[in-house]
Amino acid sequence: LEFRRVLFRSMKLAGKTNAELMELRRQIEQAPENKMPPGTSIWIYTAAARKKLDAIDRAITHNMAEKRKAEGNPVPPDGYSGRQTNRP
Mean pLDDT per 10-residue segment, the chain (88 residues): 51 86 92 92 93 91 88 72 62
> How confident is the model at residue 8, as a pLDDT?
52
- Please report the pLDDT score of residue 69 as a whole number: 87
DSSP string, 57-72: HHHHHHHHHHHHHHTT
Note the pLDDT of residue 74: 75
| Rounded-to-integer distance, Cα 34 and Cα 72, Å | 39
Q: 66-85 pLDDT, tens per residue?
A: 888 898 887 766 656 666 66
